[in-house]
Structure 1
Amino acid sequence: MKMKEQEEQKPNENRKKPTIPPYMKAVAGSLGGVMEACCLQPIDVIKTRLQLDTAGQYKGIIHCGVTIYRTEGVRALWKGLTPFATHLTLKYALRMGSNAVLQSAFKDSETGTISNHGRVFSGFGAGVLEALVVVTPFEVVKIRLQQQKGLSLESLKYKGPIHCARTIIREEGLLGLWSGAAPTVMRNGTNQAAMFTAKNSFDGLLWKKQEGDGKVLQPWQSMISGFLAGTAGPLCTGPFDVVKTRLMAQSRDKGELKYKGMVHAIRTIYAEEGLLALWKGLLPRLMRIPPGQAIMWGVADQVIGLYERTYIPPE
């Protein structure tokens, strides 16, 4: 009788692992996105200005930030915050939710586990979806606002996010909001494929944490894993990000476009500015994305952890 009770008490290693509902991951991601946007917007403004600087006006990150502050005021460092925060909130909700849905298709039906290949494909699919639905139109508006220089609202072409979107649609058509969609898809798909896989690997390697095990990481642990997971993407996708910015910044109302598309833009930048120009803005990206992922995961893991503590008992 005792032997039978002991066998019943042994954990079943092959039992199906509990899963976090996609909606809960979407909520966690959106809350993390708001916090990230508020903290890191100035770095994004500097990155955009550096990527658009073909005349060598800015000597580096610090010089760019100081120049913006002196000539346009401190508020200029938060230009485009409204579309940026909205876009991050929607992006992370869609990213986290769609990744959870896609992962369910790759999970083992009996154990609920997923291979690294499944994580990569799920992450790439989530990145492509977010790029087309949310990222591209919001970044077009954000970049058009960020590239404007000046203090007087009357002297600016775009008066705000809504006015900017309306102006683009009126002058360039609805598809103007999807300028640079191809490099954005490549950048986001590659980024998320690497990020989700790396985050899970670092959680397991550093903290012995697996999804659905009922354990909740401390915020600082989540931030370390998120920071490390966010470092690979900018190095791999630098050219896509530069090309995306250049394509989104050019307005069709000024006549013939300089860049005809993603491949043409890469060739033109390489021919006119050299190979390293394809990684312009890399340092501010490294200053923004890994810390941004640290902040986002620090918030998101706590929200997900609250759900796990409430509904999933520890193993």
Structure 2
Amino acid sequence: MKNNSNHSTTDKPQLLWLRHFGAGVCAGGISRTCTAPIDRLRTFFQVYGLDSHARMTISTTVTSMVKEGGIRSLWRGNLMNVIKVSPETGLRLMSYEAFKRLLGQTSTHEIHIFQKFLCGSAAGFTASALIYPMKTIKTRLTIRKTNEYKSIVDCIMKIYRIEGLRAFYKGLLPSALAILPASGIDLALYETLKRRIEAYKGYTTNPLEKLIVGNISNGVSQFFIYPLLNVRTRLQSNVGKTDTMTQILKRLWINHGIRGLYNGFSLHMLRLAPSSGISFLTFEYISKLLGAKAL
């Protein structure tokens, strides 16, 4: 089977790393900016949805956010989101391509799906571990009240002064447990499904097909790890200051059952569906422009 994502054998490895990183940075920034309002809405549901006295709805929450801070408030925290997501996406996709080459993917040989899963898991963990403090800052900025933090720097200083350095790594364990299988499934399934479609139809997949495949692969991966992401967001928000991962999981299950573990999941997927497709499409397109085909 012909590998449409092969890199030219004349490309220098360091140039491939740089091109893939640049393409991933663009992909992360564009996809997250397009879906920022949904991301803020999802965060509110994760943190406050089960604890509010009145049942939260999408319309009432959006209305409340706009009334509190105007239309621009829907993008509150997006700068931090882009600063965090862009390099993380760049590192993840760059690492994925690099790990594939280390396991033997060449212009004439494509590694099998389990090896791609390992590459995707390793790439996801590498990126997440390096960027994690930004995720905590982004969560605090997203759910902050007007004038609670004057800037990103002010947010960082207040968290450090009041809660210490460990506060930036709250939720790291559930995040690590979630990102390993999620990133592996997402990247391996996306690339494998796309290859199968191309082999079956005999032509390169079009943008709509890539969008659908990206949504499927991301949806499968997120379904399995969402409860851990839910716990991570609650830990980062610091709403329950002394809670641990196991305490939150136990309380969610006892008080709310499966609904508690998957609170906000529909909003999570509503954001990720277009975000994942936009990210993959942008990464492939810019990588191709830079002469370093990927995925």
Alignment TM-score, normalising by the size of structure 1 = 0.81
Q: 2:214 aligns with which of 204, 223, 226?
A: 226
Tell me what 2:142 maps to.
Answer: 146
Contact kept, 8 Å, 1:131 with 1:181, in 2: the verdict is: no
Distance in 1 between residues matched to 2:182 and 2:92, nearest whole Å: 11
Per-residue deviation at 1:139?
Answer: 1.5
Distance in 2 between residues matched to 1:295 and 1:146, nearest whole Å: 22
Is 1:304 the counterpart of 2:287 in the alignment? Answer: yes
Q: Which 5+ residue runs of structure 1 have no aligned equivalent?
A: 1-11, 210-214
Contact kept, 8 Å, 1:143 with 1:245, in 2: the verdict is: yes
Tell me what 1:9 maps to.
Answer: none
Tell me what 2:228 maps to.
Answer: 240
Q: 1:249 aligns with which of 231, 237, 241?
A: 237
Per-residue deviation at 1:287?
Answer: 0.4
Contact kept, 8 Å, 2:21 with 2:94, in 1: the verdict is: yes
Tell me what 1:259 maps to.
Answer: 243
Of 32-41 and 218-227, the range deviating more from structure 2: 218-227
Q: 1:170 corresponds to which letter in structure 2?
A: R
Of 269-278 and 123-132, the range deviating more from structure 2: 269-278
Distance in 2 between residues matched to 1:197 and 1:288, nearest whole Å: 21
Distance in 2 between residues matched to 1:258 and 1:29, nearest whole Å: 36
Tell me what 2:252 maps to.
Answer: 269
SS in 2 for 1:231: helix
Q: 1:34 aligns with which of 20, 26, 29?
A: 29
Q: Which 5+ residue runs of structure 2 have no aligned equivalent?
A: none
1:199-256: CA deviation from partner (whole Å, max 9, x where unpaired): 11221122349xxxxx8654334323322222112211111111001111117xxxx8
Contact kept, 8 Å, 1:141 with 1:165, in 2: the verdict is: yes
Distance 1:143 1:57, change over 3 A: farther
Tell me what 2:67 maps to.
Answer: 70
Distance 1:249 1:74, change over 3 A: same
Alignment TM-score, normalising by the size of structure 2 = 0.86
Per-residue deviation at 1:191?
Answer: 1.6
Is 1:92 the counterpart of 2:89 in the alignment? Answer: yes
SS in 2 for 1:230: helix
SS in 1 for 2:110: coil
1:94-123: CA deviation from partner (whole Å, max 9, x where unpaired): 101111222222226794321111111111
Distance in 1 between residues matched to 2:43 and 2:81, nearest whole Å: 13
Of 275-284 and 265-274, the range deviating more from structure 2: 265-274
Runs of 4+ displaced beyond 6 Å: none
Distance in 2 between residues matched to 1:299 and 1:18, nearest whole Å: 18
Distance in 2 between residues matched to 1:110 and 1:304, nearest whole Å: 16
Tell me what 2:150 maps to.
Answer: 159
Q: Which has the higher contact order (CA 8 A, sep 6+)?
A: 2
The structure with the largest alpha-carbon Rg is: 1
Per-residue deviation at 1:52?
Answer: 0.9
Q: 2:170 corresponds to which letter in structure 1?
A: S
Tell me what 1:129 maps to.
Answer: 126
Per-residue deviation at 1:67?
Answer: 2.3
Q: 1:257 corresponds to which letter in structure 2?
A: K
Contact kept, 8 Å, 1:127 with 1:188, in 2: the verdict is: yes
1:4-40: CA deviation from partner (whole Å, max 9, x where unpaired): xxxxxxxx989xx546823222211111111112110
Distance 1:58 1:295, change over 3 A: farther
Distance 1:108 1:222, change over 3 A: closer
Task: Name the % identity.
Answer: 20
Q: 2:99 corresponds to which letter in structure 1?
A: L
Aligned length: 281
Q: 1:198 corresponds to which letter in structure 2?
A: L
Distance 1:75 1:91, change over 3 A: same
Tell me what 1:203 maps to.
Answer: 194
Distance in 2 between residues matched to 1:172 and 1:44, nearest whole Å: 25
Contact kept, 8 Å, 1:22 with 1:96, in 2: the verdict is: no
Distance in 1 between residues matched to 2:189 and 2:105, nearest whole Å: 20
Distance in 1 between residues matched to 2:81 and 2:208, nearest whole Å: 25
Tell me what 2:176 maps to.
Answer: 185
